Amino acid sequence: MDEVFETDSAIAGYLERVSMHQEISALRASALELLSVAPGERALDAGCGLGDMARRFAGLVGPDGSVIAVDVNPAMTAAAQKIHVTDPEAATVTYRVEDICSVEYPQAFDVVWCERVMQHVPDPDSAVQNMARMLSPGGRACVVDVDWEAFVVDGTDEAMTARVLDAFRAKLPQPAVGRTLRRRLVRAGLVDPVVRTVHPVLTSLAEAAAVIPVLDRRVSNSVPEADRTAWFDSLEEADARGEFMMALPIYMAFARKP
């Protein structure tokens, strides 16, 4: 996320806002239904951010289970540990600074979760294959990510919108990774793939800017300097006219290890 945000506190604020969005909550609920996490199981949150899903898994697997949460950014694991509250009815969560492409826990987990991480990874196939290796036979993986190539904004000048969104996508190593998640799981040897999606359509700039960096004036470095002032002014003007709209597909892919 360092491609877009200048500080760790900005990353943390963004993650907190997104985790509370109703579309993300709905997609997570759908994923948990597929994962069917059971008491006593072992779960990995790969790219845990602030650890909200790691804590969710801890409650589901209970005190006889275990949860490991890893993130490449030490500021995120530190923040997650600070937020964490010990629950005697839940598993202990172990937070570690690790890269999901290289971390090694062979066949150690029944459940692997990875949300909105692949867009930032140089080699998604390597990351997915590594997650597959970490699953025990019968284990389940669930990967969630965005398709920024299908992100649209309307109500602003079309030429400027194209420039700004192209520049934003160029900051991300894998802007279209959401649409590719299913095949990456299949290539990693996992079976019975299932894909689900949500496609948020927002017409309030305030709501959209809270969860989309390129629409948020507070994250102005996500926009080329030549267009910066005009872009944010035009978004606010479109919103005032009642013409602003954005839409963005988010994919969830599930599969299991034979």
Phi, psi of 95 (to 5 degrees): -100, 130
Structure tokens at 202: 């927002």
- Give me the pLDDT at residue 143, please: 98
- Between 218 and 191, the more confident residue is 191
Strands 66-71 and 42-46: parallel
What does the mean pLDDT of the chain come to?
92
Would you say 132 and 244 are in contact if contact means Cβ atoms under 8 Å apart?
Answer: no
- Give me the pLDDT at residue 229, please: 96
Cα maximum dimension of the chain: 56
Identify the H or E element spanning 42: strand 42-46
Q: Please state the domain extents for the chain.
A: 8-147+173-199+250-256
- The conformational region for residue 107 under phi > 0 = left, psi -120 to 50 = alpha, else beta, is left
Phi, psi of 228 (to 5 degrees): -55, -55
Interval 7-38: pLDDT, tens = 667 776 777 777 778 888 888 999 999 999 99
- Give me the pLDDT at residue 12, please: 67
Interval 67-80: pLDDT, tens = 999 999 999 999 89
> Would you say residue 150 has pLDDT above 70?
yes
Q: In sequence order, what DSSP letters do the residues of 60-121 get, joined into one string? A: HH-TTSEEEEEES-HHHHHHHHHH----TTSPPEEEEE--TTT---TT-EEEEEEES-GGG-
- Give me the pLDDT at residue 254, please: 98
Q: CB under 8 Å to 166, separation ≥6 — which residues?
A: none
Crossing angle of the two packed helices 22-35 and 52-61, in degrees rounded to 10: 30
CATH number for the domain whose boundaries are 8-147+173-199+250-256: 3.40.50.150
What gap in Å lies between CA 256 and CA 258, rounded to an integer?
Answer: 6
> Would you say residue 107 has pLDDT above 90?
no
